[in-house]
Amino acid sequence: MQIMNKFTLLAMLFYASVGFAQKYQLTGNGLKASVGGTDVELQFYNASTVRVLKSPQGRSFEKKSLAVTEVPEKVRISVKENGNSVRLKTSGVEVVFDMETGVVGFFDAGGKLLVSEQGRPSFKDFNDAGNKTFSVRQSFRLDKDEPVYGLGILQNGKMSQRGQTKRMVQGNVEDYIPFIQSVKGYGIYWDNYSPTDFIDAGEETAFRSEVGDCIDYYFMYGGNADGVVAKMRRLTGDVPMIPLWAYGYMQSKERYKSQDEIVGVLRKYRELNVPIDCVIQDWQYWGHNYLWNAMDFQNPLFRNPKKMMDDIHGMNARVMISIWSSFGPATRPYRELAGKGMLFDFGTWPQSGIDSWPPDRNYPSGVRVYDAYNPEARDIYWKYLNDGVFKFGIDGWWMDSTEPDHLDFKPEDFDTKTYMGSFRKVRNAYPLMTVGGVYDHQRAATSDKRVMILTRSVFAGQQRYGANVWSGDVGSSWETLRKQVPAGLNFTLAGNPNYNSDIGGFFCGHYNKSYADGGAPRNPMFQELYVRWLQFSAFNPMMRSHGADAPREIYQFGKKGEPVYDAIEKAIRLRYSLLPYIYSTSWDVSRRRGSFMRALVMDFADDRNVWDMNDEYMFGRSILVAPVLEAHYTPEVAVKVNENDGWDRDRKKVENAVKADFTKSHHSKVYLPAGTVWYDFWTNERHDGGREISKTTKLDVIPLYVKAGSIVPIGPDVQYSAEKAWDNLELRVYTGADGEFVIYEDEFDNYNYEKGEYTEIPVSWSNASRRLTIGRRKGAYKGMIQKRKFTIVTQDGVRKTVSYDGRKVSVRL
How far, in whole angstroms, is CA 642 from its chain's centroid?
21
Q: Write phi, then psi, for 534 (nearest 5 degrees).
A: -65, -40
DSSP string across 130-176:
TEEEEEEEEEEE--TT--EEEEEE-SS--SS--S-EEEE---SS-EE
Asked if 481 and 528 count as a contact pair (C-beta separation under 8 A), the reply is: no
In the DSSP assignment, the letter for residue 280 is E
Q: Is 379 a catalytic residue?
A: no
Gap between the Cα atoms of 727 and 749, Å rounded: 19
Gap between the Cα atoms of 475 and 481, Å rounded: 9
Of the CA atoms within 13 Å of residue 787, those in its CB half-sphere come to 1
Gap between the Cα atoms of 301 and 653, Å rounded: 34
Q: Among residues 213, 296, 400, 553, which one is catalytic? A: 400
Asked if 481 and 533 count as a contact pair (C-beta separation under 8 A), the reply is: yes
Q: Among residues 128, 403, 643, 746, which one is catalytic? A: 403
Strand order in the sheet with 38-46: 24-27, 30-35, 38-46, 49-56, 215-221, 186-190, 175-182, 148-153
Q: Which residues of 649-667 are buried (b: 16+ CB within 10 A; e: fewer)?
A: beebebeebeebebeeeee
Gap between the Cα atoms of 357 and 327, Å rounded: 20
Choose among 28, 33, 21: nearest CA to 5. Answer: 28
Asked if 454 and 111 count as a contact pair (C-beta separation under 8 A), the reply is: no
In the DSSP assignment, the letter for residue 564 is H
Which residues, at least 6 apart from 411, have a Cβ–Cβ distance to it below 8 Å?
none
Asked if 477 and 505 count as a contact pair (C-beta separation under 8 A), the reply is: yes
CA–CA distances in Å: residue 198 to residues 66, 104, 452, 487: 20, 19, 32, 16
Q: Is 400 a catalytic residue?
A: yes
Which residues, at least 6 apart from 796, have a Cβ–Cβ distance to it below 8 Å?
684, 735
Gap between the Cα atoms of 430 and 446, Å rounded: 25
Asked if 748 and 731 count as a contact pair (C-beta separation under 8 A), the reply is: no
Cis peptide before 635 (omega within 30 of 0): no
CA–CA distances in Å: residue 370 to residues 291, 335, 442, 461: 15, 11, 19, 21
Query: Where are the alpha helices (H) located in 223-339, listed in sequence order?
Result: 225-236, 259-272, 305-314, 332-339
Asked if 711 and 741 count as a contact pair (C-beta separation under 8 A), the reply is: yes
Residue 49 DSSP SS3: strand
Burial class from Cβ neighbours inside 10 Å (0-12, 13-18, 19+) for residue 6 reads exposed
Q: Is 415 a catalytic residue?
A: no
The 3-class SS string of 384-405 reads: HHHHHCHHHCCCEEEECCCCCC
Choose among 402, 409, 408, 338: nearest CA to 368. Answer: 338
Gap between the Cα atoms of 616 and 123, Å rounded: 41
Gap between the Cα atoms of 359 and 407, Å rounded: 13
Helix axes 478-493, 225-236, angle to 10 degrees: 70
Q: Is 161 left (phi over 0), alpha (psi -120 to 50) or beta?
A: alpha
Which residues, at least 6 apart from 185, have a Cβ–Cβ distance to it below 8 Å?
108, 114, 221, 222, 223, 224, 225, 227, 228
In 7-112, beta strands by DSSP E: 24-27, 30-35, 38-46, 49-56, 78-82, 85-89, 93-98, 104-108
State the catalytic residues: 400, 403, 473
